[in-house]
Amino acid sequence: MTRTLSKFLALLFTFAMIAAACGSDSSPDDATTDTTEDGGGGDDDGGSDVTTGDVDDDDTVVEADDETERSYGGSIAVGLEAEAVGLRPWEDACSSPCYNIFVTIYDKLMEQTIDGTYEGWLAEDITPSDDFTIWTMNLRPGVTFHNGVELTAQTIADMFPIQQEGSQSSSQIAASNLAGVEATGDLEVTYTLSQPNSAFPAFLSRVQLGAVFEPAAAAADLDGFSNEPVGTGPFVIESRDLDNETVVVRNGNYWGVDPQGNQLPFLDQISFRPIPDEGTRLDALLSGTVEAMQTLRQGTIRDARAAVEDGEDLTLLEFQGNNVGGGQFNVLVPPFDDVRVRRGLTQMNSQENVIDALGGTGISLPGTQWYSPDSVWYSQKVADAWPQFDFEAGSATLQEYIDDPERSDGKAPGEPIDVELSCPPDPTLIAAMQVIEQTWSATGNVNVNLTNYDQQTHINYALGAENGFVGEHGAHCWRWSDDNDPSVGINPFLAPPTPEIAEAAGIPDIVSPLNFSNWFNAEAFGAAVAATQTDNFEERYALYEQIQLAIAEEVPIWYSGHTATMIGTVSNMQGLNGWHLPNGTVGIGFTNAEGRWAEVWLN
Amino acid sequence: MTALDAQTDSISITDDDAPAERQGSTPIERPKRATPLQVFREMPIVIKLSTIWLLLVFGGAIYAKIDTVLLNDALPLQNPNLQTNNFNPATGEFGDGEPNESWSSAHWLGTDTIARDTFARIVHGAWVSLIIAMVSAGFGVVVGGFFGSLVGFVRGRTETVTMAAMDVILAFPALILLLAMVSIFEVRSLTVIALVIGFLSIPAYTRVARAGSLAVSQREFVLAARAIGTKPMKILFREVIPNVLPTVLSYAMVAGAFVIVVEGSLSFLGLSVQLPTATWGNMINQARGNLKVNFAQVFWPSMALVLTVLSLNSVGDWLQKRAAHRGSAL
C-alpha cells in the first residue's frame, strides 16, 4: 500500500511539473536583446563593446579609466572555459582560456597595441635589417624573474634551444623563419631569419615564442616547470590543482608601473578556475562564485546580455575579432576537389540561419573573409566577391557537377554526392550543422551524413598525420584567423599541404601540415610570401586582398560568423578594459576573451 | 494415480511419451485466463496511468513511423526535422517561423533552437526509444532467457562456463563498454545501437532466467517429467521455459526502462543514432546550451523520458508481483 502510494505521489509530482512548465514557458523575445545599434556588433572601435547596467547606451572603445584612484589589495576568481594543460610556453598547447593565466606569470617581448601595431613590452625596441632577415632587439633593464635571476640578452639566447625542442615553439620558429638567436650585448639580442619576415615582431607577441621564461629553471626540470613556472610577470604561481584551481599571487618585485606611475599589479591574488560548461560559468559569475568569466560562445553572450538587462550588476567586455567560424572542404578528396561542388554547397548555406542557430543573431557578424569589418585588413572587394547565400544558383552549380560524365567522385551522372559534415559535439554547432544539412539535402543532390567527434579527434581527422596529412575529413567545421598580423595565420594555411604538391610547385622544402583544407594556389602562396618581405601597409594590404579574393573564387572554406567573445566581470572590477603597454600606449584590449590582469583593481 | 500424478496433470503436462493409460486421466480444470480488460480493471490507479502512458508512447511512435515511411508526412503531425517552420525545400528559402517559440496551437510544445516542432520531435523520438527497448528486450529475452533457463536446468560445467562469461560482461562498466562498441561501429544506425544495447542486456536476462530455472527445475512437475523419462530438451521447452518466461518478461519491462535511459545517455553524448534523427536524449543535449532562453525544450523530452521510465518500472514491478503470485500458486 505504501509503495503504491509513493508511486502515485511520484506520478502526481511529475504531472505537477508538467503543469508548472506549461505555465512558466518564457518568450524568447523577452530574453534575447540586440544591444548594438548596428544589429551585428560592428562598430568603429576596434571591435570592442562595453556593456554595464543599462545595455542600451554604453557602446564604447577600449579605453582606460585614467581618472579614478586605484586601490591595492583584494583577490578575485576567474572562471575559464577550459583548464590550461600545462604552463610551459614552449611545450603546452594553449588557447584563450590558458592565455589568461600565462600573461599573469610571463611577460612577452612584444605586445599588440589598439592600432594593431606591435611595440615593446620586455623589449624596449626592435629594429630590422633592410631585407628583414636580421632583427636587433634591446631588452628593458632592471627586470628580474620570480626566482631573483636577472633578465639579460643571454637569457633570451638560452631560451632558444628549449624552444627549438618544444612542440609549440618549434612550429612558430618554422613559421617565422627564425634560424638563430644570439646575445650581442648585455641587453641586445640579435635574431637571424632564414627568409625575410617583416612581421617577425608579431611572433614575439605570441606566447610560444615571445613569453620569457627562466631557462636555467626550465632546463633543470622540464616537466616540473609546467606546474612551477618561473617568469617575470606581475604574478607568481602560488598553487596549481589541475582541473580545479590555479592560484597566482602578487609579484612584489614586478618592474611594471601604470601610466600614472602606480606600481603594478594591484590585486593580491587571482584564482583561475576551469568551468567548462557555459551556463554554469555564467551562473558562477551571477552568483558571485567568481568575479570574472570568459566565453567564446555567442549563446553565452546573449544570456549575459539578458542578465544585465534584467538588472544584474555586471560589466560585459565584448570583442568582435577577426576569428571567423565556418567549415572547410578537403580539396584532395572527391567530390570536394571540384570547385563547382565547393561553390554550390557554399551558396546553399544560409549564413543568416546558421548564425541564428549558433545563438549569434545580433552578436556575430557574417564572415566573408579572414578579417572582420573592424579590421584594417578588411576588404569590401572581397566581401562583394564572396559567394553569398543563393540557393538557386548554388543548386545549379552543383547540378553541373552532378550531370558531368567525368565527375571526380566516380559516380554515374545524376547520382547525388555524398558529404560527411562533421563538427565537435557542442550543442550550438550541432544546431548549426543541422541547418546546413537541411539546405544541402533539400536539393536531393546531396546525401549528408552528420558526425560529431570530440575536439581532439576532430582536429586529428583534419590533420591526417597517418595518411600523409591529407586528412580523413570531408566537410569539416573549423575556425580561422585572429587579430595578429595576417602572416601569422595565413602562411601555414596557404603553404603546400603535402610533399608531392610542394615538389610539383617547385618548393620541395616547404610543406605545411597546418593547411587543413589542402588547398594550394601558387599565386596566393606567392602573395603570402611577398607580404612578409615588405612592411609597406598598402603593398601588404593589396597582397592579402589578392589572397582573400582567391579564396572567394575557389572556396576551399566557408564562413558562418565572426566570433564574438566576452569577459564578464562584477561591476566593481576595473582596469581590464584599456590596459597599457609600458610606453603608455593602450593595448589591443581583450581579444578572444584574453584579459591582461596586471592593471585590474577592485573599486 | 498417485498424488504426484494428480499434481502433474493439474498443470497440464501432456507427455506424449507417457504410457497410454495415463493419457486418459482427467486434468483439473485450469482457471480461465483473464482478458486484457479484466487485467486493466485489476490494476491500481498508478499502474493504469502508467499503462495508458505507455500505450500513448507506443501508439505515437507507430503513428509517427507510419506517417513518415508509408504516408509521406500526410498525417497531421509536423515533420520533426523541418526547420524554421516554413523552409521551402524547392527554393531553399527559410520562412517566417521563429526558433524557441513558446507553445501555441501551431506548435503544442513550442519550437526548438532551430525552429523545429518539439511535439513532433518527441513523438518521433519515441520510436527510437521504443525500438531500443524492444530490440534489447527481444535480444535479452530470447538469448539471455534461453541461456539462463538452459544452464539453470542442466547445471554442471555448462552453467559454470556460461555464467563466468556473463559475469565477465557484467563486470565491465556497461556504459564504457557501450561507448567503446558504438565507437567501433562508426555507422550509428538505429539497428546497430539497438543490437549493441541488446547484446549488453543478455547477461542480466541470463541471470534472471537462470534463477527462475533453478527454482523451477526443482519443482515436482519437472521431477515428475524426469522420472517418467521425458527427454531433457522437451522438459526444458515445455516445463521450464514456460514457467520462467513470465518472470523474464516482467523483468524486460524494468530492463527496457533502463536501456531507454542508457540510449538517452548515449544520445546526450552524441553517440547514438545519427542526426538529425530525433531522440529524447539528443533533444535534451541540443537544448542544454539554450536553457536560459528556452527551458521548455529541455523539460519536455526529459518529461517524456521520466514518465516512460517511471511507467515501465511501475508496470514491470506490478507484472513481476503477478508472475511471482502465479508461480507460488503452481
**What does the pLDDT look like over A547-600, one tens digit per residue?**
999 999 999 999 999 988 999 999 999 999 889 999 999 999 888 899 999 999
Q: Would you state the cell numbers that stand for residue A37, as one nine-digit string? A: 545599434
What is the Cα–Cα distance from A146 to A235, expressed in whole angstroms? 9
Please give, rounded to a whole number of angstroms, the shortest distance from the CA of A310 to a CA of chain B: 12
What is the Cα–Cα distance from A66 to A71, expressed in whole angstroms? 13
Confidence of residue B99 (pLDDT cuts 50, 70, 90): confident
Question: Mind giving me the DSSP string for A158-169?
Answer: HHHHHHHHSHHH
Using an 8 Å Cβ cutoff, are A348 and A439 in contact?
Answer: yes
Contacts of A43 (CB under 8 A, 6+ apart): A36, A49, A59, A374
Of A167, A168, A152, A161, which is closest to residue A232 (Cα–Cα)? A152
Please give, rounded to a whole number of angstroms, the shortest distance from the CA of A567 to a CA of chain B: 18
The CA-to-CA distance between both ends of chain A, in Å, stands at 62
- In this complex, do B290 and A359 lie within 8 Å of one another by their Cβ atoms? yes
Residues in chain B: 330
Contacts of A504 (CB under 8 A, 6+ apart): none
- In this complex, do A26 and B306 lie within 8 Å of one another by their Cβ atoms? no
For domain A71-295+572-602, the CATH superfamily is Periplasmic binding protein-like II (3.40.190.10)
User: Does residue A33 have a pLDDT over 70?
Assistant: no
Q: What angle do CA B120, B122, B124 make, to 5 degrees?
A: 70
- In this complex, do B289 and A350 lie within 8 Å of one another by their Cβ atoms? no
Q: What is the pLDDT of residue B17?
A: 47
Over the range A358-387, which residues count as b (16 or more CB within 10 Å of their CB) and which as e? bbbbbbbbbbbbbbbbbbebbbeebbebbb
Amino acid sitting at position A584: G
Beta strand A475-480 with A123-128: parallel, antiparallel or unpaired? unpaired
Q: Would you state the cell numbers that stand for residue B143, as one nine-digit string? A: 538469448
Section A486-509 average pLDDT: 91
Confidence of residue B103 (pLDDT cuts 50, 70, 90): confident
Confidence of residue A87 (pLDDT cuts 50, 70, 90): very high
- In this complex, do B286 and A449 lie within 8 Å of one another by their Cβ atoms? no
Chain B residues touching residue A7 (CB < 8 angstroms): 46, 310, 314
- pLDDT per position as a tens digit, B227-244: 998 999 999 999 999 999
- H or E element, residue A80: strand A75-80
Using an 8 Å Cβ cutoff, are A128 and A198 in contact?
Answer: yes
Region label for A166, one of left (φ > 0), alpha (ψ between -120 and 50) or beta (otherwise): beta
CA dihedral A360, A365, A366, A369 (to 10 degrees): -130
Using an 8 Å Cβ cutoff, are A301 and A317 in contact?
Answer: no
Using an 8 Å Cβ cutoff, are A451 and A437 in contact?
Answer: no
Confidence of residue A295 (pLDDT cuts 50, 70, 90): very high
Beta strand A314-329 with A48-52: parallel, antiparallel or unpaired? antiparallel
Is residue A251 classed as helix, strand or coil in its secondary structure?
coil
* Residues above pLDDT 90, as percent of chain A: 68
What is the Cα–Cα distance from A299 to A427, expressed in whole angstroms? 10
Of A549, A556, A558, which is closest to residue A524 (Cα–Cα)? A549
Confidence of residue A94 (pLDDT cuts 50, 70, 90): confident
- In this complex, do A28 and B101 lie within 8 Å of one another by their Cβ atoms? yes
Chain A residues touching residue B98 (CB < 8 angstroms): 28
Over the range B5-30, which residues count as b (16 or more CB within 10 Å of their CB) and which as e? eebbbebebebeebeeeeeeeeeeee
Region label for B105, one of left (φ > 0), alpha (ψ between -120 and 50) or beta (otherwise): alpha
Using an 8 Å Cβ cutoff, are B326 and B249 in contact?
Answer: no
Flag whether the ipTM exceeds 0.90.
no
* Residues above pLDDT 90, as percent of chain B: 30
CA B315 to chain centre: 12
- In this complex, do B92 and A31 lie within 8 Å of one another by their Cβ atoms? no
The lowest-confidence range among A13-22, A450-459, B106-115 is A13-22
Chain A residues touching residue B290 (CB < 8 angstroms): 299, 359, 427
- H or E element, residue B327: helix B296-329
Distances (CA, A) of A234 to A105, A205, A252, A258, A280: 6, 17, 8, 12, 29
> By CA distance, what is A432's nearest residue in B?
B114
- In this complex, do B289 and A8 lie within 8 Å of one another by their Cβ atoms? no
Using an 8 Å Cβ cutoff, are B115 and B98 in contact?
Answer: yes
Please give, rounded to a whole number of angstroms, the shortest distance from the CA of A200 to a CA of chain B: 40
Using an 8 Å Cβ cutoff, are A132 and A532 in contact?
Answer: yes
- In this complex, do B294 and A353 lie within 8 Å of one another by their Cβ atoms? no
- In this complex, do A431 and B113 lie within 8 Å of one another by their Cβ atoms? yes
The lowest-confidence range among A500-504, A573-577, B76-80 is B76-80
> By CA distance, what is A349's nearest residue in B?
B92
Please give, rounded to a whole number of angstroms, the shortest distance from the CA of B275 to a CA of chain A: 6
What is the Cα–Cα distance from B238 to A470, expressed in whole angstroms? 62
Amino acid sitting at position A314: L
Q: Would you state the cell numbers that stand for residue A499, as one nine-digit string? A: 610533399
Contacts of B49 (CB under 8 A, 6+ apart): A11, B311
Chain B contact for A8 (CB, 8 A cutoff)? yes
Is residue B228 classed as helix, strand or coil in its secondary structure?
coil
Can you tell me which residue has the cell 572567394? A552
Residues 269-328 of A with CB under 8 A from B: 278-279, 297, 299, 302-303, 306
Q: What is the pLDDT of residue A267?
A: 97
Chain A residues touching residue B312 (CB < 8 angstroms): none
Which residues are A449's β-sheet partners? A420
What is the Cα–Cα distance from A248 to A250, expressed in whole angstroms? 7
User: Does residue B24 have a pLDDT over 80?
Assistant: no
Section B296-323 average pLDDT: 89
Residues 22-51 of A with CB under 8 A from B: 22, 24-28, 31-32
Integer-rounded Cα radius of gyration of chain B: 25
Query: Omega into B246 within 30° of 0, i.e. cis?
Result: no
The whole-model pTM stands at 0.78
CA A598 to chain centre: 21
- The fold of A3-32+320-563 is Dipeptide-binding Protein; domain 3 (3.10.105)
Of A85, A80, A184, A88, which is closest to residue A139 (Cα–Cα)? A184
User: Does residue A281 have a pLDDT over 90?
Assistant: yes
User: Does residue B25 have a pLDDT over 70?
Assistant: no
Beta strand A75-80 with A292-295: parallel, antiparallel or unpaired? parallel
Q: What share of chain A is helix, strand, coil (3-state, %, to 5)?
A: 35, 20, 45
User: Does residue A397 have a pLDDT over 90?
Assistant: yes
Of A112, A175, A80, A89, which is closest to residue A580 (Cα–Cα)? A112
Which residues are A602's β-sheet partners? A573
Average pLDDT, chain A: 88
Distances (CA, A) of A509 to A43, A131, A167, A500, A502: 43, 21, 20, 11, 7
What is the Cα–Cα distance from A430 to B289, expressed in whole angstroms? 11
Chain B contact for A456 (CB, 8 A cutoff)? no
Q: What is the pLDDT of residue B30?
A: 56
Domain ranges of chain A: 3-32+320-563, 71-295+572-602
User: Does residue B6 have a pLDDT over 90?
Assistant: no
What is the Cα–Cα distance from A342 to A326, expressed in whole angstroms? 13
What is the Cα–Cα distance from A571 to A594, expressed in whole angstroms? 18
Can you tell me which residue has the cell 511507467? B311
Contacts of A395 (CB under 8 A, 6+ apart): A344, A348, A443, A445, B92
Q: Would you state the cell numbers that stand for residue B175, as one nine-digit string? A: 556504459
- In this complex, do B92 and A430 lie within 8 Å of one another by their Cβ atoms? no
- pLDDT per position as a tens digit, B140-181: 999 999 999 999 999 999 999 999 999 988 887 877 877 777
User: Does residue B327 have a pLDDT over 60?
Assistant: no
Section A404-427 average pLDDT: 94
> By CA distance, what is A442's nearest residue in B?
B89
- pLDDT per position as a tens digit, B192-232: 888 888 888 899 999 999 999 999 999 888 899 989 989 99
Q: Would you state the cell numbers that stand for residue A431, as one nine-digit string? A: 544546431
Chain B contact for A398 (CB, 8 A cutoff)? no
